[in-house]
């Protein structure tokens, strides 16, 4: 079985998981939610196998490298990160209510990667600049960080939708009642931002050390670098506002949404709208 077949299969497993989470949430069926968790873990397992298979295939083609080198592979790894980060959060905080969002995101990312004609999924050999051990560390840390920010942004949106419900313990009615309490949303959002911030910092640092060994410049204000710094500054602002000025709730939710917009622009906007050293990521 080829890796691209496995990875297209993963797309449908994620769709199934998202649907199960969604219906379980809407119709209050915790059985469905539990099923969704198992389906998601199955998806992540297959996804991991698919990426490993692709890695092996690249060796069979004679220029083996980790599947982290072009746009298709980054989308695939990004979807994997989002699903995994969410599932780990589920294990830690025992809350299954919001799985439809991260698994939905993983599904759409995989669907775009697998079926969009704009995304080249062929395994390509590495150009000289990418031949470095820093590649793996850089891409993995950046995308795990992005995944943390994605989950935080989703939680932020849910927080704002849950809306101006001032009484903290009033469960309300309808869908609103079926999401975690406002306090735990706030806490989860913060935890995901902290994780993302730490990983983004490692990502920027590994990228910088790598750039210094490849091009002799640890920082060249290339648009990708600059946008990653902008993202970092937005989240630094969020953390300082929370820890230093006691911001909570809606403000943090908004900052987390703004931060993730910067992530999206760093990842996609820079590739498609601006040009620079990262142009091979197209």
Contact residues toward other proteins (CB under 8 A) are 63, 124-125, 127-129, 131-132, 183-184, 187, 194, 197-198, 201-202, 205, 208-210, 212-219, 221, 223, 226-227, 229-230, 233-234, 236-237, 239-241, 243-245, 262, 270, 274
Helices within the chain (DSSP H only): 3-26, 30-60, 71-93, 100-115, 134-162, 182-214, 223-245, 250-264, 270-273
CB of 174 to other proteins, least distance (A): 26
CB nearer to other proteins: give 49 or 205.
205
CB nearer to other proteins: give 3 or 70.
70
CB of 124 to other proteins, least distance (A): 7
Tokens representing residue 81 in the block: 């990160």
Tokens representing residue 123 in the block: 């395994």
Structure-derived torsion over alpha carbons of residues 31, 37, 39, 42, reported in degrees to the nearest 10? -150
Q: Which residues touch 181 (CB under 8 Å, ≥6 apart)?
A: 168, 169
DSSP sequence for 132-155: STHHHHHHHHHHHHHHHHHHHHHH
CB of 134 to other proteins, least distance (A): 8
CB of 30 to other proteins, least distance (A): 22
CB nearer to other proteins: give 9 or 236.
236
CB nearer to other proteins: give 47 or 224.
224
């Amino acid at each position: 079985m080829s890796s691209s077949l496995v990875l297209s299969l993963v797309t449908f497993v994620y769709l199934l998981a998202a649907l199960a989470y969604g219906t379980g949430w809407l119709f209050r069926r915790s059985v469905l939610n539990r099923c969704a968790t198992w389906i998601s873990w199955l998806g992540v397992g297959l996804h991991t196998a698919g990426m490993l298979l692709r890695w092996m295939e690249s060796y069979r083609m004679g220029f083996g490298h980790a599947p982290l080198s072009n746009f298709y592979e980054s989308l695939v790894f990004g979807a994997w990160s989002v699903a995994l980060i969410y599932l780990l959060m589920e294990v830690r905080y025992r809350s299954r209510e919001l799985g439809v969002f991260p698994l939905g995101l993983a599904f759409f990312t995989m669907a775009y990667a697998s079926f969009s004609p704009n995304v080249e999924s062929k395994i390509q050999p590495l150009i000289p600049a990418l031949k470095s051990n820093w590649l793996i560390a850089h891409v993995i840390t950046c995308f795990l960080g992005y995944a943390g920010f994605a989950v935080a942004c989703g939680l932020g949106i849910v927080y704002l939708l849950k809306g101006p419900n001032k009484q903290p313990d009033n469960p309300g009615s309808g869908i609103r009642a079926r999401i975690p309490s406002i306090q735990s949303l706030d806490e989860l959002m913060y935890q995901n931002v902290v994780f993302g911030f730490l990983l983004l910092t490692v990502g920027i640092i590994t990228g910088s050390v790598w750039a210094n060994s490849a091009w002799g410049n640890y920082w060249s204000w290339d648009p990708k670098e600059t946008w990653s710094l902008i993202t970092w500054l937005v989240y630094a602002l969020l953390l300082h506002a929370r820890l230093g000025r006691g911001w909570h709730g809606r403000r943090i939710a908004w900052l987390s949404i703004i931060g993730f917009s910067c992530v999206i622009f760093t990842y996609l906007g820079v590739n498609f709208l601006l040009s620079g050293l990262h142009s091979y990521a197209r």
